[in-house]
């Protein structure tokens, strides 16, 4: 009898574990279908790139947004990434940028990009004319001073923003009149309620997103959790992916110092050739020697490939047309890295 009770106890424990996983609703990823390593062609840059915040590609032009330089954009021709000049100035004129650009708001086409001029909450469109990106028009998205983070347009004039300290929701869906029509709650992946120094969910669950080309889905990648979620255009959760491939430990210290936490997804994920590409840092606090990885998923959440870069990277931009990955390491101001984009 004792033997049977022991077996029953073990089964009960196992079942409780399975129930817990099922209740969380996450799909656990323990491997990618394809893995390999990538080696860079190193491109020396005469003009140092200081404080880069975003890399983007419009057609055959690579641009790098620099946060505090006189000219905001450094320009390169593709596929060889030859430097062609700078553009973008700050000021009050209609064709200028008043202040900083939210790097989570860039939306690209072959000939233009749009982004949020953060301090004035204006969505500005810059078109390629005369070897430079020039602001062609703008529209107000939110009232000036209203807090928001990110800008991800979906169908029917709606858009999604990230939660903020002032709005304790993870994602907010706005209609074309800038009214919130749906929001989502933050996950409960860790306990943030430390009595001495509670950590705000907006910091702990920091993320960046990318919208599918048809604007019907949005994928969110987390900075301090090795996780990815896919929503539909109505903010219904479709996939919750838990990437349990080492390293994947997350532990928030009692003091709540985010800078000391392991960091996973960084930069801006990208939608190219029907796939989602995300840069994964895999860095624990202070570890500079770790090599970055490129994680590739489809829009159904399938883990397609993981490629290990030959160095630590901070930003990437992918050209499906030229089958290239362009990358920067913020700590190296005079180099740009070019990788061949592997076929899946």
Could you tell me how many helices (H) and strands (E) the chain has, helices first?
A: 2, 26
CB atoms within 10 A of CB 189: 16
Instruction: Give the closest residue to 239 by CA, choosing from 214, 224, 221.
Output: 221
Calpha distance 223→239 (Å, rounded) = 18
Query: pLDDT 10s digit of each residue in the chain, 344 long?
Result: 444 333 333 333 333 333 233 336 899 999 999 999 999 999 999 888 989 999 999 999 999 999 878 899 999 999 999 999 999 988 888 888 988 899 999 999 999 999 999 888 889 999 998 889 999 999 888 765 555 689 999 999 999 999 766 668 999 999 988 889 999 999 988 877 765 556 778 888 999 999 999 999 999 999 999 999 999 999 999 999 999 998 887 666 555 555 567 889 999 999 999 999 999 998 765 555 578 999 999 999 999 999 999 999 999 999 999 999 999 999 999 999 999 999 98
In the chain, the number of structural domains is: 1
- Residue 268 structural domain: 29-340
Domain-located, residue 46:
yes
Domain-located, residue 70:
yes
Strand pairing category for 34-38 and 303-309: parallel
- The reported pLDDT for the residue numbered 260 is 66
CB atoms within 10 A of CB 335: 17
Domain-located, residue 108:
yes
- The reported pLDDT for the residue numbered 130 is 84
Domain-located, residue 19:
no
Domain-located, residue 272:
yes
* Domain CATH number, residue 162: 2.120.10.30
Domain-located, residue 17:
no
**Residue that is written with structure tokens 């700590």 in the block:** 331
Domain-located, residue 300:
yes
Domain-located, residue 245:
yes
- The reported pLDDT for the residue numbered 194 is 62
Instruction: Determine the distance from the C-alpha atom of residue 153 to the mean position of all C-alpha atoms in its chain, rounded to a whole number.
Output: 15
Beta bridge partners of 37: 308
Task: List, as own/partner pairs, every contact residues 324-328 make where C-beta atoms lie below 8 angstroms and the sequence separation is at least 24, other chains included.
Answer: 324/78, 324/79, 325/38, 325/294, 326/55, 326/57, 326/62, 326/76, 326/81, 327/40, 327/55, 328/49, 328/52, 328/55, 328/64
């Amino acid at each position: 009898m004792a033997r049977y009770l022991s077996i029953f106890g073990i089964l009960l424990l196992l079942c409780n574990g399975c129930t817990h996983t099922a209740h969380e609703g996450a799909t656990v990823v323990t491997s990618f279908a394809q893995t390999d390593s990538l080696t860079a062609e190193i491109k020396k840059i005469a003009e140092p790139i200081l404080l880069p915040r975003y890399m983007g590609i419009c057609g055959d032009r690579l641009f790098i947004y620099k946060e505090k330089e006189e000219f905001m954009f450094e320009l390169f021709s593709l596929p060889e990434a030859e430097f062609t000049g700078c553009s973008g100035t700050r000021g009050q004129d209609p064709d200028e940028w008043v202040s900083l650009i939210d790097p989570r708001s860039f939306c690209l086409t072959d000939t233009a990009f749009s982004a949020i001029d953060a301090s004035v909450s204006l969505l500005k469109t810059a078109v390629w004319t005369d070897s430079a990106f020039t602001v062609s028009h703008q529209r107000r998205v939110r009232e000036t001073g209203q807090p928001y983070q990110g800008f991800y347009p979906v169908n029917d004039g709606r858009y999604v923003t990230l939660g903020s300290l002032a709005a304790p929701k993870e994602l907010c869906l706005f209609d074309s009149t800038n009214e919130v029509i749906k929001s989502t709650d933050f996950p409960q992946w860790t306990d943030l309620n430390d009595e001495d120094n509670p950590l705000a969910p907006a910091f702990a669950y920091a993320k960046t997103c990318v919208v599918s080309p048809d604007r019907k889905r949005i994928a969110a990648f987390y900075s301090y959790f090795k996780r990815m979620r896919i929503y539909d255009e109505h903010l219904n959760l479709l996939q919750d992916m838990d990437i349990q491939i080492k390293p994947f430990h997350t532990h928030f210290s009692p003091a709540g110092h985010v800078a000391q936490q392991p960091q996973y997804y960084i930069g801006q994920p990208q939608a190219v050739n029907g796939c989602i590409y995300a840069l994964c840092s895999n860095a624990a606090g202070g570890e500079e020697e770790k090599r970055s990885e490129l994680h590739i998923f489809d829009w159904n959440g399938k883990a397609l490939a993981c490629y290990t870069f030959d160095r630590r990277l901070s930003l990437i931009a992918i050209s499906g047309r030229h089958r290239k990955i362009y990358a920067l390491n913020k700590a190296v101001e005079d180099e740009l890295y070019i990788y061949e984009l592997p076929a899946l």
